[in-house]
Structure 1
Amino acid sequence: MHRTLHRWKNLSLIEESQTLPNGVEVQHTSVSHPGAVVILAKTPNNTLLLLNQYRPSLKEWLLEIPAGTLEENEAPLSGAKRELEEETGYSAKKWQSLGQLTPMAGFCNEIQYLYLAEELSLTQRLSQDSDEVIEVLDVSVDQLLSWIQQDKITDAKTIATLSKALLTGALN
């Protein structure tokens, strides 16, 4: 059995019967999510674009890298290019995949696709959503790491994406 309990934008709250690998039957409720993109944007000055974004669900400002939900049937790289420009006013010539994250597997099927964007140029084509209040910052990798250590940056996708970029050597 599969039942939609609620829809909002392109998210759905789904309840369904499932048989677990151990044979137990359960009713599981989860959020169906189209996926998201997360962009670590490196400027020609070897700094990174960081957003100071007001998050209504937290009722506070959050320091995070550009990211956004995929539109219906949108390829992740296309979504990353769109989100970078909408949120920061920059486009990038060079894109590298940094892999994926599964941020909330206990109750949501969201996959986040991670990218490093380089060779940025300012387009000024900002088109933020009506519920987005964003300030674009330009920070060094050392500053970003320091803010993570000081708990000024607590956003999991930002910490994970920066970690993956550093661990794989993609960010020198």
Structure 2
Amino acid sequence: MLFGHEPPQLLKQRMLYKGRKFSFEVNRFRLPNQAESDLECIRHPGGALAVPVTSDGKFVLVRQYRFTAKGRLLEFPAGTVEPNETPEATIQREIEEETGYRAQQWQSIGSFFVAPGYSDEVLYAFLAQELELLDLPPEKDSDEDLVTVLMSADEVEKAIYDGDIVDAKSISSFFLARPFLN
């Protein structure tokens, strides 16, 4: 995926941190305007998100504890793309783990940078339909504290405008999905 691809010239690279989900670099670049600058960047393998919709029009979200927000956020299920995994495989795995649902119909609804001012993470959004509730859902990751929540489209939209849904990837993906549902 290229968004106006115009790469800078890398002059010096320094990785300051490498974790299991992302790394942090400070690099010296010559920008397309020929200016030189030290720029920080979080390197991330990308993520995938599902906007799951039941046959009766309910959206499936999760209320998940997020330590950075110091509370529980209402979000659509999402996950980090693992090595050698496609975004489609990522979200098919994550929706089952996080919600206990499996989708039979998948449609890409777009992709976007999450925070291009400091991260290269791209999120791939999918509409998930023809959901079936699994008899025995996979075990949730041990570091996830979440519950499944079902909401109508009107309830989701109201929650966004009331400030009850504040997760940017979920807000963006909800509005990307809407044209496919009418």
TM range (shorter): over 0.9
Deviation at 1:114, TM superposition (A): 0.3
**In 2, distance between residues paired with 1:138 and 1:126?**
19
The answer to whether 1:171 aligns with 2:181 is yes
**In 2, distance between residues paired with 1:94 and 1:38?**
14
Selected match of 1:41 from 26, 45, 52: 52
Give the letter aligned to residue 22 of structure 1. Answer: N
**In 1, distance between residues paired with 2:37 and 2:81?**
30
The two structures have a TM-score, normalised by structure 2, of 0.90
The answer to whether 1:151 aligns with 2:160 is no
- Where structure 2 has 5 or more consecutive residues not aligned to the other structure, the ranges are 1-11
Secondary structure, counterpart of 1:158 in structure 2:
helix
Counterpart in 2 of 1:131?
143
**In 2, distance between residues paired with 1:111 and 1:94?**
23
The two structures have a TM-score, normalised by structure 1, of 0.95
Q: Give yes or no for contact 1:44–1:119 (8 Å, CA) kept in 2.
A: yes
Deviation at 1:170, TM superposition (A): 0.6
Counterpart in 2 of 1:56?
67
Q: Give yes or no for contact 1:53–1:64 (8 Å, CA) kept in 2.
A: yes
**In 1, distance between residues paired with 2:127 and 2:106?**
6
Alignment of 1:61-72 (within 5 A): 61-72=72-83
**In 2, distance between residues paired with 1:41 and 1:125?**
16
Counterpart in 2 of 1:97?
108
Q: Which runs of 4+ in 1 moved over 4 A?
A: none
- Where structure 1 has 5 or more consecutive residues not aligned to the other structure, the ranges are none
Deviation at 1:156, TM superposition (A): 0.5
**In 1, distance between residues paired with 2:139 and 2:172?**
26
**In 1, distance between residues paired with 2:175 and 2:72?**
22
The answer to whether 1:32 aligns with 2:43 is yes
Secondary structure, counterpart of 1:170 in structure 2:
helix
Give the letter aligned to residue 75 of structure 2. Answer: E
**In 2, distance between residues paired with 1:56 and 1:154?**
15
Counterpart in 2 of 1:118?
129
Deviation at 1:171, TM superposition (A): 1.8
**In 2, distance between residues paired with 1:158 and 1:57?**
17
Q: CA offsets per residue over residues 100-153 of structure 1, 9 Å max, x none?
A: 011100000000000000001112323322221001011100100111111111
Deviation at 1:60, TM superposition (A): 0.4
RMSD: 1.0
**In 2, distance between residues paired with 1:60 and 1:68?**
19
Selected match of 1:76 from 79, 87, 93: 87
Greater mean deviation of Cα atoms: 7-16 or 124-133: 124-133
**In 2, distance between residues paired with 1:3 and 1:77?**
32
